[in-house]
Structure 1
Amino acid sequence: MIDFIPLEFYQYYYINTALVIVIFTMLHSWVLELDDYKNILYIKTIGYLLLILILLYIGLRPVSGRYFADMRTYSNTFEYYANGGDLKTDKDVFFQLITKFCAEIMTVNAYFLMCAVLYIVPMYRVSKAFFKEYWFYSFLMFLVSFSFWSYGVNGIRNGLATSMFLWAISFYEKKPLMIAFMILSMLFHKTLLLPILAFSLTFLHNKSKTYLIFWIAAIPLSIALGSFWESLFASLGFADDRLSGYLTNESAGRSGFRYDFLFYSSFPVIAGWFYIFKKDFQDKLYHHIFNTYLITNAFWILVIRANFSNRFAYLSWFLMGLIIIYPLLKEQFHKHQHIVIGQILVAYFSFTYLMFTIYYAR
């Protein structure tokens, strides 16, 4: 357990270490070509070092409900099972089974390390599977995403579920494995039914223009009709009683239309539009992923005023970094493409850094 770092500085060290790595990577892009041997050596070395360090840093953090929110709840459940408690069957039984099993054979610190492995390693796996020796850029995009920290230390079940989804699409060429891991993701958290259904829909219709129109239309529809969509989806009992509660519960107040988050959500939309429609990027898998994002993010836009709407947003946000960087690691689009990759890393991370250091620091 890493207990020599004051808890109040845990997130501070993460965000500023990420800043140093992003800036250093951008500087590399200015002086070396993407396929230069020195650059390949750098991204391989820093990539594996970063993978190990982030696993240990998140996985061995002390148990705290004050600084890591729901971590205390997970810890209490673990201790309940360690003391011989009966299996809880009221929600996400598969995750409860895993926790109960772990409580019988390991300590709570080992349990959270295992959760970190299951959360982070799939990000490495999908990056390595898609981009080979350039996997570091994709992996770094995952690690500097706005939601990465929150779902690694707080909304752990959600984070594990979306990582299982990422692992699933890494088996795109092996459909039985892909389906198995998608089912596994839903067993971790039932809300993954939405991206799974969206991804499945793209196999029936994979035209990005259709889904882009749907995404754009969701904005005025949400502004004009407001709570209508929240009541509609809640009445349908969408996948999870807890999410229905978030849609209709007024006790915590309404969050209002989050234009800042809509702006953030537009990053992969703009990237996908540019490479698909302007650069004619014809990659079937990329279209599947991009269209899945458009569908799930449009759903969030419709219920954007709901309490805890970030829980809906994360059902699309976990794909953001992958969508933005994917084309640049697959084809040559720009004369100085390595510089473009460095600039995109900085621009993408800037939102995360500013939100943590300015918005949430108030």
Structure 2
Amino acid sequence: MFSLYTLDILFNVTFFVTLIYGWQIYSGSAAIRGNTKGFAFMFAVFAALMLGLYDIGYGYSGDRELYAYSFLQHVNSDKSWSEILSNKEWAFYLYQNLTSFLGEPQYWFILTAFIYVFNYYVVAKRIAPESTLLLFLAIVGGFCFNSYGTNTIRAGLALSFVVVGLTYYENIWKSLVFFFIAYNIHHSTAIPIVAFLVAKYYNKPKLFYYFWFVCVVLSAVAGNLFTSLFSVWGDEFDSRTSYLTTTETHYNVGFRIDFILYSCVPIIIGYIYQNRLYYKNEFYSLIHNTYIIANAFWVLVIRANFSDRFAYLSWFMYALVMMYPLLESPDYFNNVRQKIFWTLFVINLFTYFMYWR
């Protein structure tokens, strides 16, 4: 089936479009700023179709298969409103119920992929209106973006609403609307939401740097203590806390130096931009601090199974933190074309390598 290979197609096309367009930026044959919203829109449609058409994989695909069965329960039964709203994360089940008219799970996956991808397209268009395609390619090319559109769907959908909410930082009530939707799709979004609120109303960047570093040290010397501490929340907080105690023999658990190094790159880059190059921007300071706080939580539970699922509660902002200053104020930076190219290329290259390794 064609759908078995849609992710291969998406990864290859994203990488090579990034390489070609990035090189045009690098060489000066393409402008950093321009009206690329149309191209970004077309690429968003393509990406959503590739994610939505990906094979359900009955019998072997894990989460995606479970979502299909969950959707079919809404198709095959007339669930009452009280039954739907009694779920802790009722917004997701309400969404499944309202879209049950689609009948086939594959159609539901396509619709869900469009919502997921176009939330990020809206973000790219809102915060980089003159460089939409560049930012959108960085987002789609980011690590785990595709897996959160095909497998870890509920968390991915929820986080896509969180990132839209971040862009309304100047109007907290609009932000809270999107956060409300996100939280009731997946309660784990409480972590980046709280991180955002702390960063917005307690703007102490130096303290956040120290906090992250202390969390790394504490995790290195007493990580199991924090894993056990957070696990007591259990299902009262979020079903993914079961990863804190479940034993898996095939998953590489422990103090993941590779994940730490990957996570600290945006922290270091953001520090350089703001404290060495003196780039000042309210939105950037906010998302950078939000990233640090959310990532610090993951550092404490890094020994958990599938700890990348905790890490993605900050990683979903990775491309924004890395790319935003270069696109928002390209004239501010020396050799900005080279910086844009290498930042965009390395983000995509890492994802491409991890997929095909």
1:189-240 CA deviation, whole Å, 9 max, x = no partner? Answer: 0011111111111122112111111112211211101200111122355862
Q: Does the Cα contact within 8 Å between 1:95 and 1:187 map onto a contact in 2?
A: yes
Hey, what does 1:357 align to over in structure 2? Answer: 356
The equivalent position to 2:322 in structure 1, one of 303, 324, 342, is 324
Corresponding residue SS for 1:40? coil
Q: Does the Cα contact within 8 Å between 1:123 and 1:167 map onto a contact in 2?
A: yes
Q: Does the Cα contact within 8 Å between 1:254 and 1:305 map onto a contact in 2?
A: no
Matched, 1:59 2:52: yes
1:261-280 matches, within 5 Å, as 261-280=259-278
Cα deviation for residue 263 of structure 1 reads: 1.5
The equivalent position to 2:65 in structure 1, one of 64, 68, 72, is 72
Q: Does the Cα contact within 8 Å between 1:265 and 1:297 map onto a contact in 2?
A: yes
1:118-133 matches, within 5 Å, as 118-133=115-130
Separation in 2, partners of 1:274, 1:267: 11
1:92-107 matches, within 5 Å, as 92-104=89-101, 106-107=103-104
**What letter corresponds to residue 11 of structure 1 in structure 2?**
L
Cα deviation for residue 58 of structure 1 reads: 1.4
Corresponding residue SS for 1:148? coil
Distance 1:292 1:321, change over 3 A: same
Cα deviation for residue 302 of structure 1 reads: 0.9
Separation in 2, partners of 1:338, 1:294: 27
Hey, what does 2:174 align to over in structure 1? Answer: 177
Most deviating of 81-90 and 312-321? 81-90
1:279-320 CA deviation, whole Å, 9 max, x = no partner? Answer: 112111211111111011011111101012111111000000
Separation in 1, partners of 2:58, 2:338: 41
Distance 1:261 1:238, change over 3 A: farther
Separation in 2, partners of 1:66, 1:149: 21
Separation in 2, partners of 1:182, 1:90: 18
Matched, 1:40 2:34: yes
Q: Does the Cα contact within 8 Å between 2:231 and 2:244 map onto a contact in 1?
A: yes
Cα deviation for residue 321 of structure 1 reads: 0.4
Q: Root-mean-square deviation (CA), in Å?
A: 2.2
Most deviating of 172-181 and 138-147? 172-181
Corresponding residue SS for 1:52? helix
Distance 1:281 1:77, change over 3 A: same
Q: Does the Cα contact within 8 Å between 2:187 and 2:238 map onto a contact in 1?
A: no
Identity value in percent:
30
Gaps of 5+ in 2: none
Distance 1:118 1:97, change over 3 A: same
**What letter corresponds to residue 222 of structure 1 in structure 2?**
S
Q: How many residues align?
A: 351
The equivalent position to 1:49 in structure 2, one of 34, 42, 47, is 42
Corresponding residue SS for 1:94? helix
Hey, what does 1:21 align to over in structure 2? Answer: 17
**What letter corresponds to residue 319 of structure 1 in structure 2?**
M
**What letter corresponds to residue 176 of structure 2 in structure 1?**
I
1:24-81 CA deviation, whole Å, 9 max, x = no partner? Answer: 0122013326647xx736x445423211211221123342246753111111111111
Cα deviation for residue 170 of structure 1 reads: 2.1
Gaps of 5+ in 1: none
Separation in 2, partners of 1:122, 1:262: 28
Hey, what does 1:206 align to over in structure 2? Answer: 203
Q: Does the Cα contact within 8 Å between 1:229 and 1:302 map onto a contact in 2?
A: yes
Matched, 1:299 2:293: no
Q: Does the Cα contact within 8 Å between 2:51 and 2:149 map onto a contact in 1?
A: yes
Separation in 2, partners of 1:200, 1:46: 34
Distance 1:199 1:345, change over 3 A: same
The equivalent position to 1:110 in structure 2, one of 104, 107, 112, is 107
Distance 1:271 1:61, change over 3 A: same
Separation in 2, partners of 1:143, 1:264: 17
Q: Does the Cα contact within 8 Å between 1:258 and 1:305 map onto a contact in 2?
A: yes
Cα deviation for residue 324 of structure 1 reads: 0.4
Most deviating of 276-285 and 155-164? 276-285
* Alignment TM-score, normalising by the size of structure 2: 0.91
Q: Does the Cα contact within 8 Å between 2:123 and 2:163 map onto a contact in 1?
A: yes
